[in-house]
Amino acid sequence: MQNDDVNHDTVEHGMQPEDTPELRALYQSFQDNHMNPLWTQTGDLMPMHPKPQAVPHVWKWSTLLPLAEASGRLVPVGRGGERRAIGLANPGLGGNTYISPTLWAAIQYLGPRETAPEHRHSQNAFRFVVEGEGVWTVVNGDPVRMSRGDLLLTPGWCFHGHHNDRDAPMAWLDGLDIPFSQQMDVGFFEFGSDSVTDYATPNFSRGERLWCHPGLRPVSQLNDTVASPIGAYRWEFTDRALTEQLLLEDEGQPATVDPGHAAIRYTNPTTGGDVMPTIRCQFHRLRAGTQTPDRREVGSSVFQVFEGAGAVVLNGERHRLDKGDLFVVPSWVSWSLEAEEQFDLFRFSDAPIMERLGFMRTQVGDT
Amino acid sequence: MQNDDVNHDTVEHGMQPEDTPELRALYQSFQDNHMNPLWTQTGDLMPMHPKPQAVPHVWKWSTLLPLAEASGRLVPVGRGGERRAIGLANPGLGGNTYISPTLWAAIQYLGPRETAPEHRHSQNAFRFVVEGEGVWTVVNGDPVRMSRGDLLLTPGWCFHGHHNDRDAPMAWLDGLDIPFSQQMDVGFFEFGSDSVTDYATPNFSRGERLWCHPGLRPVSQLNDTVASPIGAYRWEFTDRALTEQLLLEDEGQPATVDPGHAAIRYTNPTTGGDVMPTIRCQFHRLRAGTQTPDRREVGSSVFQVFEGAGAVVLNGERHRLDKGDLFVVPSWVSWSLEAEEQFDLFRFSDAPIMERLGFMRTQVGDT
Amino acid sequence: MQNDDVNHDTVEHGMQPEDTPELRALYQSFQDNHMNPLWTQTGDLMPMHPKPQAVPHVWKWSTLLPLAEASGRLVPVGRGGERRAIGLANPGLGGNTYISPTLWAAIQYLGPRETAPEHRHSQNAFRFVVEGEGVWTVVNGDPVRMSRGDLLLTPGWCFHGHHNDRDAPMAWLDGLDIPFSQQMDVGFFEFGSDSVTDYATPNFSRGERLWCHPGLRPVSQLNDTVASPIGAYRWEFTDRALTEQLLLEDEGQPATVDPGHAAIRYTNPTTGGDVMPTIRCQFHRLRAGTQTPDRREVGSSVFQVFEGAGAVVLNGERHRLDKGDLFVVPSWVSWSLEAEEQFDLFRFSDAPIMERLGFMRTQVGDT
Amino acid sequence: MQNDDVNHDTVEHGMQPEDTPELRALYQSFQDNHMNPLWTQTGDLMPMHPKPQAVPHVWKWSTLLPLAEASGRLVPVGRGGERRAIGLANPGLGGNTYISPTLWAAIQYLGPRETAPEHRHSQNAFRFVVEGEGVWTVVNGDPVRMSRGDLLLTPGWCFHGHHNDRDAPMAWLDGLDIPFSQQMDVGFFEFGSDSVTDYATPNFSRGERLWCHPGLRPVSQLNDTVASPIGAYRWEFTDRALTEQLLLEDEGQPATVDPGHAAIRYTNPTTGGDVMPTIRCQFHRLRAGTQTPDRREVGSSVFQVFEGAGAVVLNGERHRLDKGDLFVVPSWVSWSLEAEEQFDLFRFSDAPIMERLGFMRTQVGDT
């Protein structure tokens, strides 16, 4: 399919009219009246396959973390800016803080005993903790502990603030659908309490206590919800699920995605579907020595290395990866993972958008 | 609504024609040609509200268990009869082994080292263990431990057999949709292995290892299934979920169904819906002293006391209940539970049938 | 699959215990305590394939219509009996007015200027008109003309009455889910006006005027409904749809179910699904000379010949059919239609029950 | 809600750190490493309510049509440019041919006997004909007549080309989701035949003949489809549906959206939902003198006047409208229609995107 582009670009010029004064006058009239002819732009508007402006890119944790720490020293946190978060800006997207056309990824940093005030917005958000602990995020009044390996949800229009209960700072990954909501003009925002509404520091949130029992649903909560009612997906469970998949594979049972490649999707227990309407979250574990087949998908994904070391090959270019490193896979860019040792990666993507709107396609291997 | 019946019965006779030879000849012709006039039967065919032939009834565990044990001594288990199961026959249903028009409930008993051979059928089945352990049910080749408080599923058309790995017998509750399938003519049956296909006795089945991680779904298993892929819902999780609901209630949080009344529904994690298309399974826990409001529902339910003591009031009549006791609530019969001490009950019903076909109605209190 | 039954019946007796006094005492205790052993009844409870008590049967219109006319002379219509309807009683179902375990089919007859009073019930109902006109059915206050070839809906819990605006009597087919609702204990009933609430005789009902525009939905009616909001499916549209399918087949386009066999399903425009939660309605047209392949389905169907002549082969037995004739196909009975001339048949079935509850199976041909 | 913006903008600066050399160095490091701080941009990224760059705008048909005609004289149609289409470029969107962030609207012009060659693309498309006739669009080989008032669909990945069978030119409105697909990187494209594959000019397409019978579904086509199988929604049906709504309103029946305001939604008959996954199509009719209440919605809409005259008030500014005029309503811009005489408007929007992703909100009146 890729080679058709040449053909397309050549053919593109077949319809061009002769350059005459009348044509120039017509084009001027178009411009005066906010009109553009299709015939001068087809190739760009409708490429043979997705040609994202976003580019594949890797951010090293060894660079990100010190800059987040420096921000902690230099920048106060509070009302207005709301969060001490540093967004990853895709080099292809013109300086916008978009890691892809749909997704936002940022490192948020909270110093000892600091509080990030409460607010809510239409944008869906999550946090993933690659290291550290001691912060509680308070979501609609429910304090949720944040610890290493946990995925914490803040679905659209839930009030939320964070506070650090410890004497050590903490950094984590924030993921949102800000670029989508900004470009599509869907966002609302509302301020909440300047502090968090509950400074309690329970080990388990009320959402977990109500919902985190496998296959069990409270009879008091039978209405399906747009986003998952589980506020925290704990590392203990993720790790166990992946461990079991690899053990089952050892026993000859179908359990993994590819040989040596275990993966779980975080889901909304009221529907079995994605945790939020725009964002898919998954966790992948590769055995040492595993290499996944080349894969292309419509839509964009962001990965963060949680543990282990390896590499990713993005459109044929190999990038070595260590703990905490992040990379983005724009639409239809081929990707393959290689594990030097057991390799654990958190992943989020805009796949629910693509699937719900009928645009998803996947290509595995050279086809 | 109840009082309208009088009116209905009175009115019913308004349309009766005069008894003449011509009318008798007409009625004879109807009979000869397999026809029945509606006007002689409206009240029965279309009552003002459900008037089940099934009656409320309580079976005492202290009666059931010794009879099951006697069966263990006198009746071999094996191919043909297939199961040493004793069905509870609703006294209103003319001797059929139907606990309600849709549901089957039986005590199954397996002696030391015995095997119940494999087969499969369209009928959906589950087992619930009120006491004992040592049996494994093998479902589509996956051995599933059966222990006290566990709910074990055998959805329609899955091969299954059981074997007792111990020197002590074991009894449990079987629930199926046999009456529904028999009356509606939907059942298929197929014999499988005369023994079970895998005599391993693992603590956890492969289905549990793949699926019992709260909110996590294997990426290798993204197709939704008609019935739950979880073969075993362990007591540990059920107990914890109920405990948390009552603790949350203590903290002033919405978590319980009624004050002092915690309840969970067992669900299919691929959809968030019921475990099987025809059978709903729930577990209820009442604090000591709790009395639930009178409730009527379309469709029938069966309860088994798991722990504690109390009573049920069925259409105004109070029945005392002890551990293991079973009772059936036919359609539109009012029921209310009373807890003398903490009172745990397993419940199954045909509610998915009623809801999927648009017939469900519920009435709470005196209204 | 059919031959396994022998095997099944043989095997069935493998588990029978020796007849001893102890066993007899046990069996007596079972009976005293409303219990039945499974091992004495497996073959009946769980057959190798559906073995309905209902039998295939044909009712001749030439018999039915005169009996309906005689009823018109001898039996008044009015409150109590509510309807002058004569139900078709499946010869295998013990005298119950059930044409199958789920379905009711009756000939309703309304004399000149008569009114059948209003009521409503949980049971879903439709009428199909094989000949005649002049009656209006008033559904939730909306008068709906009944004419030859029309399908008229009265979904559960809609008030409805009928009145004959002409000087000639009229007869039609009523279809309901009475047997299902009676056996499953789901029915409620309420009396309405003793006359119909609106004696207007418009050509088109309000429901048609709002909804019968292909692919168009009123923006004021965006909530999906359990049953179709279309009260009348007119013959003109059914005929045209079938005609077009056969013309498209002539043009080599995919349009028919089998060669020479056109068919439409009546649907709920808010969902694209069946018109009512328990009843599927279809219309079939066969070209002269067409014979459909043998087909078995779970669930039961009723057909009425609308026009033309031909035959049906039911479990190998051929029955000749003329206009107005009705026949029932119980679950898993094989059926095949033969058209002597262009052959039009209305059909209704309980397929939505079977599909929604996961029991549907179909077998085409000898497999 | 609107007034909170001031507050937001004020508060926004609360978190700004002191400008020091260290801070500048930090900001430089951010830039060097493709990172952006959130605290300098919150107000823009997360406004209090949608603040689209797109602006409300009206294009006059009296301007558009002559420019399309001039294009017909000066620009050939054919492979490469593919279509003689002139896109409407929202003045707020920087010269992109986007009428909104999600939608594309263009005037396409086809001269006498011309052919626009076949291709297909992931983008969903429709055509709406405000005047003229004589062109057939061939969709997956099915020739579809285009006449005044018709809506013609070309869902994603269907091959399509057009040819003008007459000696007069024809112009129409094209609507697509090009901006969405371009920004979200979801588009694939493939060339087809250089001419159209079938030059037949039937009055009705095969899709219409199979599907355009109200409430009837071919039994050969029971799989639901992502987009509507109806290729043409004819003006005759749209007009009749709207006429009936206003007549029903005259009779005191609920049928219209607001008093004097009839509206239909074009739907996919397999689901009852929108015609395509990203685009909603509706038609609105106002009685003379009707004024609709102010309304704000998330997402963008485009209207074209089909008949009559009136005005639209967009964010408080009144624009007079005549036949053929087009206007765009960006997200959360208030709009109200006024009818001088009976006023007919076609409308399309991105509402399915907003609803499927959980972002839809509507505000009616001053609230």
Please answer whether residues C109 and C69 qualify as being in contact, where contact means their C-beta atoms are separated by less than 8 angstroms: yes
The pLDDT of residue B1: 35
Give B33→chain C minimum CA distance, Å: 8
Q: Nearest CB to D67: which of A35, A84, A97?
A: A35
Question: Rounded to whole angstroms, how far apart are CA atoms B341 and C317?
Answer: 64
Model confidence over C171-196: pLDDT tens digits?
Answer: 999 999 999 999 999 999 999 999 99
The pLDDT of residue A1: 35
Q: In this complex, which chains have at least 3 CB pairs below 8 Å with chain A? A: B, D
Task: Tell me whether the CATH fold assigned to C57-211 matches the one assigned to C232-364.
Answer: yes
Q: Nearest CB to A17: which of D22, D74, D156?
A: D74
Task: Residue D212: name the closest of D227, D231, D198, D225 by CA.
Answer: D231
Q: Other CB atoms closer than 10 Å to residue A142's CB: what's the count?
A: 23
Query: B66: helix, coil or strand?
Result: helix
Show which of residues 205-264 on chain B sit within 8 Å of chain A, judged by CB atoms. 206, 209-220, 222, 224, 228, 230, 233, 237-238, 240-241, 244-245, 247-248, 251, 253-257, 263-264
Distance of CA A240 to the CA centre of its chain: 23
The pLDDT of residue D7: 39
Residue segments in chain B with a per-residue pLDDT below the cut of 50: 1-13
Tell me the pTM. 0.95
Task: Residue A86: name the closest of A171, A184, A167 by CA.
Answer: A171
Q: Nearest CB to A237: which of B216, B245, B256?
A: B216
Give B367→chain A minimum CA distance, Å: 21
Q: Classify residue C18 by its DSSP letter.
A: P
Q: Cβ contacts (< 8 Å) between C68 and chain B: which residues?
A: none
Q: Nearest CB to D248: which of C210, C233, C251?
A: C210
Question: Rounded to whole angstroms, how far apart are CA atoms D102 and D349?
Answer: 9
Q: Which chain C residue shows the shortest CA-CA distance from D246? A: C210
Q: Which residue has 């206009």 as its token pair? A: C323
Show which of residues 162-181 on chain B sit within 8 Å of chain C, judged by CB atoms. 178, 180-181
Question: Rounded to whole angstroms, how far apart are CA atoms B121 and B346?
Answer: 24
Contact C263 D216 (CB under 8 A): no
Give D253→chain C minimum CA distance, Å: 9
Q: Model confidence at C291, in pLDDT bands (50, 70, 90)?
A: very high
Model confidence over B227-242: pLDDT tens digits?
Answer: 999 999 999 999 999 9
Mean pLDDT of D124-135: 96
Element holding A126 (H helix, E strand): strand A125-128
Q: Nearest CB to B244: which of A209, A222, A267?
A: A209
pLDDT, averaged across chain A: 93
Q: Nearest CB to B185: which of C8, C26, C332?
A: C332
Q: Tell me which fold the domain D235-364 belongs to.
A: Jelly Rolls (2.60.120)
Profile chain A (367 residues) by mean pLDDT over runs of 10 residues.
39 67 94 91 84 98 96 85 91 94 97 95 98 96 98 98 96 97 96 94 98 98 97 98 98 97 98 98 98 98 98 98 98 98 98 98 85
The pLDDT of residue C367: 54
Model confidence over D27-71: pLDDT tens digits?
Answer: 999 999 999 998 887 667 889 999 999 999 999 999 999 999 999
Please answer whether residues B127 and B73 qualify as being in contact, where contact means their C-beta atoms are separated by less than 8 angstroms: no
Separation in Å, CA A52 to CA A364, B129, D216: 19, 57, 43
The pLDDT of residue A15: 65
* In the predicted structure, residue C307 carries a pLDDT above the cut 90: yes
Model confidence over B23-46: pLDDT tens digits?
Answer: 999 999 999 999 999 888 767 788
Task: Residue B343: name the closest of B292, B305, B304, B308 by CA.
Answer: B308
Q: Model confidence at C14, in pLDDT bands (50, 70, 90)?
A: low
**Domain spans of chain B, in order of start:** 57-211, 234-364
CATH tag for C57-211 (out of 2.60.120.10, 3.75.10.10, 3.40.50.150, 3.90.550.10): 2.60.120.10
Residues 6+ apart with CB under 8 A from C225: C268, C270
Question: What does DSSP say about strands A261-266 and D335-339: parallel, antiparallel, or unpaired?
Answer: unpaired
Q: Tell me which fold the domain B234-364 belongs to.
A: Jelly Rolls (2.60.120)
Cα torsion D20, D21, D25, D26 to 10°: value is -20
Q: In this complex, which chains have at least 3 CB pairs below 8 Å with chain C? A: B, D
Q: Other CB atoms closer than 10 Å to residue D342's CB: what's the count?
A: 18
Model confidence over A8-37: pLDDT tens digits?
Answer: 443 444 567 888 999 999 999 999 999 999
* In the predicted structure, residue C42 carries a pLDDT above the cut 80: no
Contact D206 C270 (CB under 8 A): no
Question: What does DSSP say about strands A335-339 and A261-266: parallel, antiparallel, or unpaired?
Answer: unpaired
Please answer whether residues B241 and B264 qualify as being in contact, where contact means their C-beta atoms are separated by less than 8 angstroms: yes
The pLDDT of residue B81: 72
Q: Cβ contacts (< 8 Å) between A298 and chain D: which residues?
A: 185-186
Contact D215 C267 (CB under 8 A): yes
Q: Helical H runs in C54-112? A: 61-74
Complex-level ipTM: 0.95
Contact B216 A269 (CB under 8 A): no
Query: B106: helix, coil or strand?
Result: strand
Superfamily of domain C232-364: Jelly Rolls (2.60.120.10)
Model confidence over D145-173: pLDDT tens digits?
Answer: 999 999 999 999 999 999 999 999 999 99
Distance of CA B70 to the CA centre of its chain: 25
Show which of residues 300-339 on chain D sit within 8 Å of chain A, judged by CB atoms. 300, 330-332
Percent pLDDT > 90 in chain C is 89
Tokens of D51: 């603040």
* In the predicted structure, residue D4 carries a pLDDT above the cut 50: no
Residue type, C143: P
Tokens of C175: 């279809």
The pLDDT of residue C38: 86
Query: D349: helix, coil or strand?
Result: strand
